[in-house]
Structure 1
Amino acid sequence: MTRGSTVTELSLSRPSARPIRRPSPWNGRNGVLAVALLLVGWSLVRAGLLEGELVNAGGWVLALRFGRAALQPDLTPDLLSLTLHSTLITLAYAVCGTALSLAIGVVGGILSSEVWWQTVRASQGEGGLVAGGAPWLVVRSLLSVPRAIHEAIWGLIFINIFGLDPVSGILALGIPFGAITAKVFSEILDETPRGALQALRAGGAPPLAAFFYSLIPQAFADLLSYTFYRFECAIRSATILGLIGAGGLGYQILLSLQSLRYEQMWTFLYALILLCGLTDLWSARLRWRLSLSRPLAVCKVTDGEATAGPNDRLFRSSLWLALGLTLFSFWFIGARWELLWAPRSGQLFREMVATMFPPRLELAFWRELTVSAVDTLAMSILASAVAGVGGMLLAFPAAGAAWLGGGAEDAVGWMVRPVAWFTRGLLLLTRSIAEPIWALLAMFVLFPGLLPGAVGLGLYNLGILGRLNAEVVENLDERPTRAIQAQGASRLQAFLYAVWPRALPRFVGYALYRWEVCIRATVVVGLVGAGGLGRLLQEQLVRFDYHSVSATLLVFFLLTGLVDLGSAWARRLLR
């Protein structure tokens, strides 16, 4: 070997002398954090945190009285009878609304899914009617309009057309929930593996038959899971409709609150919490029995017990229960469906549409709309911050010992379980009580404005985010935590390096999703005096000022779109 070759080999094998550069702190994730902190600070200033008095000192007496009443609910026979009747009304509205939304969601979900139109194109050939187009985008765009309007606003609109008839409440729940269900169903179908569909097509099965016999059975468990979630949402929304005259638990809670009869109010609240809790248990039990990670057609036996399949006893019992509950609810609610085609209803609808266009265009009015829109945005940011941070903190105690690592359940389970059950009960309480009721309670000690609305939205979404985040923690793979503990790391170190980094992205993703929901729900707390676009919209509907209503809805659509774009931008940078 020559001297030159030796030098060359040595130079090639020498490691690079360039220092390793640390990543710049100015990255996308830190940028999102900085923007979030700036928005929260701006929202606090907008809510008047630095101006004047926010707390009503005299309201603490009422707040303490309300808290003591929780230990002394009114259990007299007459009130219990009224509670049972009101609970049945709320349940009937929720069941009827869910049934209508499910009918809309199934049809709309199939028609707005890309895989359906690809299958239709295959059945017609490349020269078919839908070849070369994107009809699912058209259907999704049409469904985005009813989805953007909150069910409470739909309720006020239908009350002006059909009056205080149960048909107004059922339509107010069914139409927006149906549009939301259709969107989610279409996404589930599009994300379902298509191997079985392609196999059936390769075997000569007709395209549409292959679609229904391959994708639907695979996606059934996910579709069923979301249907239960939508039913839980319908129960809470039926309570909101009670605040605007639909009756049920929401109406009774509002009357008790206005008359300061807190013992009676807690009786109705406990009934609502029990109803939501039973629905949660039924949903969790059925989803576990159906083994969501497996196709419905597969029936696996574990420990001698079937855990999936349409022949499962719980599954069949649930189907019969759902059918009986639906028939009973439609009979019990007594909606006058003839109002849908009554001449007077059609006349009122045409008059309302005619008076909505053109929207009101005065410059002073649009200035007022802009101020209200800014207030609505600030309210949603504060609510999302409260719910996001609180949901992260409560997720771990609600998850029990799932995040403590191997062996923790045996060692400290006797301490963790009571904390987990207490935290889950607290989260159930916060998400069982609707946003406007929380806002009304916040007005005990806070002056009307953005802050009580943000508190009401934040507490309600805290219960939802806490539950979702707890499920994230429970579903984390335990092997990284066990591995780092096997190397001698403490539980705190294992949490900081193996649990928190994996859970945080999901936490942030859920928080951003709930921000999109909060911006729509600000309308509801505005109806009870919390400010923003909701307060303006209520005043306009009461005055039958539909020119102003159309302008306000237009601003609300624009604001919702802005928040959706901002949320999508943040999620993209955080990936």
Structure 2
Amino acid sequence: MNSPIRYRRSGRWKVSWLFVCTALLCLPFADLSISTYDPWAELGRLFGGLLQPSLAAIEAPIAALLQTLAFALLGVSGGALVGFGLAQLFHWRWLRMLCASLRAVHELFWALIFLQIFGLHPLTGLLALGIPYAATFAKVYAEILEEGDRRAYEVMRQRAGPLSAFFYARLPALWQHFVSYTSYRLECGLRSSAVLGFVGLPTLGYYLSTAFMEGNYAEVWALLILFYVIIASLKFWARPRLLPVYLIAAPFIIANDATISLANVSRFFIQDIVPLPLRNGEGLEGLWRWFSELFVSDALPGIVNTLLLTQLALVLTGFIALLWFPLISKLFFQRAGRMFGHLFLVVMRSTPEYILAFILLALWGPSMLPAVIALALHNGAIIAHLMGRYSHALSLRPDSPTGINRYAYEVLPGIYNQFLAFLFYRWEIIQRETAILGILGITTLGFYIDSAIQDIRLDRAMVLIAITAALNVAVDAISHNIRSRLRLTFGVKLGGVSSGG
């Protein structure tokens, strides 16, 4: 074995143990307590609702479902259209940096911003989904274009011009890649659209949060089951020929009587987000004092807790993915067993982290534990799904062992590089979700952002959101650097690792 390969394999194990040790060092500083009086009794009541799910007490469940679908379809399609245009210019460095900053801000943060500008107008939900999705589409579409075969395009361009060559030579060859990734993002958009209900938009999340806070667990499970059915049946109802019909109907579904106040829009940009010292004419010295106080009191503890929670969730995600991927691998289970494994992973990865954390917080009380578990379950299921699919490409010896020996000595070494690639790709996504979970009361950056918005101190909120975006961009850059040094690449085209969701 030559030394560069041996070095990279050694480096991958060293990096793995470095992250595990870092998580262990974080444990003493993380609040992982359970503070509710009788969490197991509450958990029993929660699962008791699963035995008798009911939509009877919910005012308009079908309307909420249609709202969720409409926001997702319009937000994702708008983001895809803009992202496709931006992908053609993605070689511009400033555009890449702008898109990295836009997609680093969670959809819920965008929703909180636009709520201050437009209120509960449909534009709030559409922009909250469309902006980060457009930035994500731009990045992934640009990667698809970059990796595609250009030979036919170069030949045709000399005779027909670049525009005709693109539409007749490049686009048809890459079309299926665009369709596959866009379909995956639609599933992510449905999860994001549902979560928007937690800030007041009339999607499933609004009714889910209301039912849960009232202890109506039969309604909670009915809504979740309805959502799982929509996700699981996506390939049946989201057919390309039906999408134009859906897109025509969607604006009429989300339309409401809310109006946009131009005075609110103007005040937001020329007053609300302008730092208080500048509004009071205190100059740069006053601005520095204001920022220093904000950084010490809010940003610094928020950053520390965000990083702590992220590292714990990242490592636990890795362990869960390694534990769960055999559930859908033909190397370990027959077809019937894999069907149950697929069903389990679909439920876990289809439930947004925010909803999982919301449920666990109500059961266990406000601490980092519900957030760590929620993030690890959701992201672990995603990586397990990808690894299970990837394991099918392995060829085992006829005399290969079975059971735990096959797992430890045959399969795991063969997929470990791919596992690290998936895990490090999810790192920035996990941190992005970690920040937003602060809205639920966990003292990450989202907690301080939400507090500032509730106190109508939007200047502070915007600075904290900018810090959150910068932190996410930094982690994404570190992750990319580690993957590059260890030569961790994706051996298969799997859209699920490309972004959040």
In the alignment, which residue of structure 1 is the partner of 2:484?
A: 572
Say whether the 8 Å CA contact 1:397–1:416 is kept in structure 2. Answer: no
- Percent identity at matched positions? 27
Q: Structure 1's 442 and 72: CA in aligned 2 closer, same or farther, altered over 3 A?
A: same
How far did 1:540 drift? 0.8
In the alignment, which residue of structure 1 is the partner of 2:147?
A: 191
| Larger gyration radius, structure 1 or structure 2 | 1
Secondary structure at the aligned position of 2:215 is classed as coil
In the alignment, which residue of structure 1 is the partner of 2:16?
A: 33
Secondary structure at the aligned position of 1:453 is classed as helix
How far did 1:498 drift? 4.4
Asked if 1:223 is matched to 2:173, the reply is no
How far did 1:554 drift? 3.3
Q: Which residues in structure 2 correspond to 1:282-301 (within 5 Å)? A: none
In the alignment, which residue of structure 1 is the partner of 2:328?
A: 398
Secondary structure at the aligned position of 2:51 is classed as coil
Structure 2 stretches lacking a partner, 5+ long: 279-286, 488-501
> Among residues 200, 207, 214, which one is paired with 1:259 in the alignment?
214
For 1:209-228, what per-residue CA distance to the aligned partner results, in whole angstroms no more than 9, with x for missing partners?
A: 21222211111111111111
Distance 1:560 1:216 in 2: 32
In the alignment, which residue of structure 1 is the partner of 2:493?
A: none
> Among residues 250, 265, 279, which one is paired with 1:345 in the alignment?
265
Asked if 1:82 is matched to 2:47, the reply is no
For 1:152-174, what per-residue CA distance to the aligned partner results, in whole angstroms no more than 9, with x for missing partners?
A: 01001101000111110111111
Distance 1:378 1:173 in 2: 28
The AA in structure 1 aligned to 2:142 is S
> Among residues 89, 94, 108, which one is paired with 2:86 in the alignment?
108
In the alignment, which residue of structure 1 is the partner of 2:402?
A: 491
In the alignment, which residue of structure 2 is the partner of 1:464?
A: 382
For 1:533-567, what per-residue CA distance to the aligned partner results, in whole angstroms no more than 9, with x for missing partners?
A: 01000011122212322331232233213312331
Distance 2:164 2:144 in 1: 19
Say whether the 8 Å CA contact 1:83–1:267 is kept in structure 2. Answer: no
Say whether the 8 Å CA contact 1:359–1:551 is kept in structure 2. Answer: no
TM-score (norm. length: structure 2) = 0.87
Distance 2:442 2:458 in 1: 22
Q: Structure 1's 360 and 512: CA in aligned 2 closer, same or farther, altered over 3 A?
A: farther
> Among residues 48, 57, 61, which one is paired with 2:41 in the alignment?
61
In the alignment, which residue of structure 2 is the partner of 1:306?
A: none
> Among residues 343, 346, 360, which one is paired with 1:425 in the alignment?
343
Asked if 1:522 is matched to 2:471, the reply is no
The AA in structure 2 aligned to 1:230 is R
For 1:509-543, what per-residue CA distance to the aligned partner results, in whole angstroms no more than 9, with x for missing partners?
A: 11111111011111321111122101000011122
How far did 1:472 drift? 1.5
Asked if 1:237 is matched to 2:192, the reply is yes
Answer 1 or 2: higher relative contact order, Cα 8 Å, separation at least 6. 2
Say whether the 8 Å CA contact 2:195–2:204 is kept in structure 1. Answer: no
Q: Structure 1's 543 and 425: CA in aligned 2 closer, same or farther, altered over 3 A?
A: same
Secondary structure at the aligned position of 2:54 is classed as coil
RMSD between aligned residues? 2.6
> Among residues 234, 246, 251, which one is paired with 1:325 in the alignment?
246
Q: Which residues in structure 2 correspond to 1:348-427 (within 5 Å)? A: 348-355=268-275, 361-368=290-297, 369-399=299-329, 401=330, 403=331, 416-427=334-345
Say whether the 8 Å CA contact 1:73–1:267 is kept in structure 2. Answer: yes
How far did 1:26 drift? 10
Structure 1 stretches lacking a partner, 5+ long: 1-19, 115-135, 284-317, 405-414
How far did 1:508 drift? 1.3
Distance 1:225 1:347 in 2: 42
Say whether the 8 Å CA contact 2:67–2:203 is kept in structure 1. Answer: yes
Distance 1:338 1:440 in 2: 31
TM-score (norm. length: structure 1) = 0.77
Q: Which residues in structure 2 correspond to 1:139-158 (within 5 Å)? A: 139-158=95-114
The AA in structure 2 aligned to 1:107 is G
How far did 1:337 drift? 9.9
How far did 1:111 drift? 2.0
For 1:230-270, what per-residue CA distance to the aligned partner results, in whole angstroms no more than 9, with x for missing partners?
A: 11111100111100001121000000110001011111111
Which range is displaced more, 172-181 or 431-440?
Answer: 431-440
Say whether the 8 Å CA contact 2:101–2:470 is kept in structure 1. Answer: no
For 1:21-62, what per-residue CA distance to the aligned partner results, in whole angstroms no more than 9, with x for missing partners?
A: xx789942232023111221123222135xxx5454512111
